[in-house]
Amino acid sequence: MMGTRRSLHLSTFVLETLLLLFYAASGTYCSVVHGNTTDRCSLLDFKKAITDDPTGALSNWNENVHHCMWSGVNCSTRHPGRVTVLRLYDLDLAGKITSSIGNLTFLRELSLDFNRFSGQLPPLNRLRKLVSLSIVFNLLEGNILDAVIALENCSKIEVLDLSGNMLVGSIPRNIGSLSNLRVISFLANNLTGTIPPTFSNMTCLVAIELAANQLEGSIPEELGKQPNMLQVILYENSLSGRIPATLFNLSQLFYLDLRKNMFTGTVPSNIGDTLPSLEYLYLGTNKLEGHVPDSLGNASELGELDLQSNCFTGIIPSSLGKLHQLNYLNLDKNKVEARKSHEFLSALSNCSNLYTLSLNGNHLHGVLPNSVGNLSTTLRRLDLGGNYLSGTVPPSIGALKNLEYLHLGGNNFVGTIPDSIGNLANLTNLYLSDNQFDGW
Ligand SMILES: *[C@@H]1O[C@H](CO)[C@@H](O)[C@H](O)[C@H]1NC(C)=O
Ligand SMILES: *[C@@H]1O[C@H](CO)[C@@H](O)[C@H](O)[C@H]1NC(C)=O
Ligand SMILES: *[C@@H]1O[C@H](CO)[C@@H](O)[C@H](O)[C@H]1NC(C)=O
Ligand SMILES: *[C@@H]1O[C@H](CO)[C@@H](O)[C@H](O)[C@H]1NC(C)=O
Ligand SMILES: *[C@@H]1O[C@H](CO)[C@@H](O)[C@H](O)[C@H]1NC(C)=O
Ligand SMILES: *[C@@H]1O[C@H](CO)[C@@H](O)[C@H](O)[C@H]1NC(C)=O
Ligand SMILES: *[C@@H]1O[C@H](CO)[C@@H](O)[C@H](O)[C@H]1NC(C)=O
Ligand SMILES: *[C@@H]1O[C@H](CO)[C@@H](O)[C@H](O)[C@H]1NC(C)=O
Ligand SMILES: *[C@@H]1O[C@H](CO)[C@@H](O)[C@H](O)[C@H]1NC(C)=O
Ligand SMILES: *[C@@H]1O[C@H](CO)[C@@H](O)[C@H](O)[C@H]1NC(C)=O
Ligand SMILES: *[C@@H]1O[C@H](CO)[C@@H](O)[C@H](O)[C@H]1NC(C)=O
């Protein structure tokens, strides 16, 4: 057995050496296209269309080196010479992606992230083994429809990431036929139209990122019916309507970012119980109303909560104090209130990782309690501006020794400004104007 294997190994070696000699000797090695040498030819054709390679990344793509050894290239072990991976990451390469790439029929991964590839995505529909296509932050142009058509029949594809290009048009319904997709990311393009309701067959979907486009209409209910969904990232579009209830029913969802849209309606009161895995909840800059749900205190992993610039009303729930991971809480520009004793503020002193507490432009009213000084010393940014707060500023505020930003302006504070603020060594931004301090 051993001997046989060794001689087999040896003969492969001899053959490859012969092939190398052949490549080296022949200037026209691509004119004869037969068997697995087509992959070499396809790669050379791809290289020919690269107009700029400032780092010399493709310098070993030459006749002295077997194409499976070229940088960024990997080949199949069972099918010698057949390219399975083409990964050229952050190399500042410029040029068009030639259609010869569509002949690398054993390709599983094509990653050209952070380069300057331009033009349209060539037809890739012969790449039936393709699992991952990632061309993030390049200069791809054309219609997303053509890009999806280019992938027709790549039924194994799991990751489709074309973020950060210049693609236009509407996401076609037939993207639903790529039913093994786990990750769809078209973030930061110029897509228009609505999100198609064709995700119901995509039971593997874990992440959908369509942020920073010009999408409109509402979120299709189907999007929330993916039991494995982890991330829904749709910020900076013109989406509207109510957020579908299904989206608040994803028990594994940890990242929800719907900022800067035009969503209306309320946040379900049991959100913290139905989304127990939430770590990032960003709903800022929409037209949401109703209360900040008490149940958020049950989403025990929650680290960042952004509800700014909406129309939330009611009392800030003290249950937020249960969130030990909470580092960012922003309720700016709503109409939320505090109970007379500012209960929520003492509750928040349990949040030992709090970094930002921003409540600017709300209806807090009343006297700022001493317990403000019991907030975690991890706090860097405290914004209580524009809130009708009255009485004196408690000296305990000087205990927040790592504060860099303190905004108390636009309230009804009276008396003297506590000396303790002078001890805040790292304070770079201090706003106290528009109050009724003595001597101002
Ligand atoms: C190619 O395969 C080798 C060995 O399996 C691996 O270490 C390397 O990271 C792979 N390279 C690429 C570009 O996938
Ligand atoms: C082409 O395939 C044959 C048989 O599968 C293999 O022996 C040979 O090494 C391959 N050629 C290249 C260039 O890898
Ligand atoms: C792809 O391969 C076919 C043969 O299988 C060949 O006729 C065609 O020219 C190739 N296309 C490109 C763009 O290399
Ligand atoms: C996709 O596959 C179907 C069925 O095998 C075939 O009819 C169709 O021509 C293929 N599409 C492309 C663009 O290759
Ligand atoms: C994308 O949209 C932006 C803003 O509307 C515009 O400046 C840019 O020219 C557009 N790009 C393309 C490729 O359409
Ligand atoms: C889901 O798959 C079924 C069967 O393959 C198909 O008939 C249906 O049109 C698909 N639905 C969507 C929304 O793509
Ligand atoms: C949420 O999930 C539960 C259990 O999976 C289901 O019974 C309920 O209908 C779902 N609600 C919505 C609004 O999707
Ligand atoms: C938080 O969770 C507890 C225990 O599961 C439950 O009894 C309580 O009703 C929940 N609170 C809210 C406001 O949903
Ligand atoms: C804050 O911690 C104290 C002491 O551990 C506890 O008694 C109190 O209930 C906590 N408050 C909240 C809102 O979790
Ligand atoms: C601040 O915390 C200390 C220690 O936990 C406690 O004794 C004190 O009453 C708190 N102060 C206020 C104003 O809540
Ligand atoms: C202030 O900032 C410096 C440098 O970032 C840091 O080392 C220090 O711990 C901070 N806090 C205080 C109270 O100086």
Q: Please report the pLDDT score of residue 311 as a whole number.
A: 98
Does residue 226 belong to any structural domain of this protein? no
Which pLDDT tens digit goes with each residue over 13-66?
Answer: 334 444 444 443 333 455 444 456 789 999 999 999 999 999 999 999 998 899
Q: What mean pLDDT is predicted for residues 83-94?
A: 97
Measure the CA–CA gap between 217 and 240, rounded to whole angstroms. 6
Provide the pLDDT for residue 36: 61
pLDDT(171) > 70:
yes
pLDDT of residue 200: 73
Helices (H), ranges, 30-126: 37-48
Helices (H) and strands (E) in the chain, counts: 5, 31
pLDDT tens track for 237-294: 999 999 999 999 999 999 999 999 999 999 999 999 999 999 999 999 999 999 999 9
Residue 66 lies in a domain: no
Question: How far is ligand 1, taken at its centre, from the CA of residue 81, in Å?
Answer: 14
Alpha carbon nearest to ligand 5 atom 6, residue: 190
- The distance between the two most distant Cα atoms of the chain, rounded to a whole number of Å, is 97
Residue 81 Cβ < 6 Å to ligand 2: yes
For residue 317, being part of any structural domain is answered with yes
Q: Is a pLDDT exceeding 60 seen at residue 111?
A: yes
Report pLDDT for 7.
36
pLDDT, mean of residues 380-391:
97
- Residue 269: predicted pLDDT: 96
Q: Where are the beta strands (DSSP E) in 103-196?
A: 109-111, 116-119, 132-134, 139-140, 159-161, 168-169, 183-185, 190-191
pLDDT of residue 30: 59
Tokens at residue 187, please? 């973030």
Instruction: Please state the rounded mean pLDDT for residues 96-112.
Output: 96
Residue 174 in domain: no
Closest alpha carbon to 214 in 166, 256, 178 = 166
Ligand 4, atom 14: closest residue by C-alpha: 125
**Tens digit of each residue's pLDDT (9 = 90 or more) over 126-167:** 999 999 999 999 999 999 999 998 898 899 999 999 999 999
What integer pLDDT is reported at residue 227 of this predicted model? 87
User: Is residue 313 domain-resident?
Assistant: yes
Q: Which ligand neighbours the alpha carbon of 105 most closely?
A: 3
Ligand 2 atom nearest to 81, measured from its CA: 14
Number of structural domains the chain divides into: 1
Residue 215 lies in a domain: no
DSSP state of 25: H
> Which neighbouring-strand residues pair with 1?
none
**pLDDT tens digit string along 1-14?**
333 333 333 333 33
Q: Is 80 in the pocket of ligand 2 (CB under 6 A)?
A: yes
What is the H or E stretch that residue 20 is in?
A: helix 2-25
- The number of the ligand nearest the C-alpha atom of 111 reads 1
| Tokens representing residue 364 in the block | 């807090």
Which one-letter DSSP state was computed for residue 145?
Answer: H
Provide the 10 A C-beta neighbour count for residue 361.
19
Kindly state if the Cβ of 252 falls inside 6 Å of ligand 10. Answer: no
CA angle centred on 22, ends 20 and 24, rounded to 5°: 70
Q: Say how many C-beta atoms besides its own lie within 10 A of residue 243's C-beta.
A: 25
Ligand 7 site residues, Cβ closer than 6 angstroms: 245-246, 249
State the pLDDT at residue 18. 40
User: b/e map of 267-281 (b: 16 or more CB within 10 Å)?
Assistant: bbeebbebbbebebb
Residue 157 lies in a domain: no
What distances in angstroms separate CA 372 from CA 89, 103, 174, 364, one per listed residue?
48, 65, 55, 13
pLDDT of residue 209: 97
pLDDT for residue 29: 54
- What number is the average pLDDT over the span 201-230? 94
| Spatial contact of 326 and 350, defined as CB atoms under 8 Å apart | no
Provide the whole-model pTM: 0.88
Q: What CATH number is given to the structural domain containing 309?
A: 3.80.10.10
The residues near 361 (Cβ < 8 Å, ≥ 6 apart) are 332, 333, 334, 385, 386, 387
224 assigned to some structural domain: no
pLDDT at 2: 33
- From the list 116, 114, 134, the residue with the least C-alpha distance to 124 is 134
Task: Output the average pLDDT for the chain.
Answer: 91
CA of 354 to the centre of ligand 1 (A): 42
Per the CB < 8 A criterion, the answer to whether 19 and 12 are in contact is: no
Q: The domain containing residue 341 runs over which residues? A: 276-440
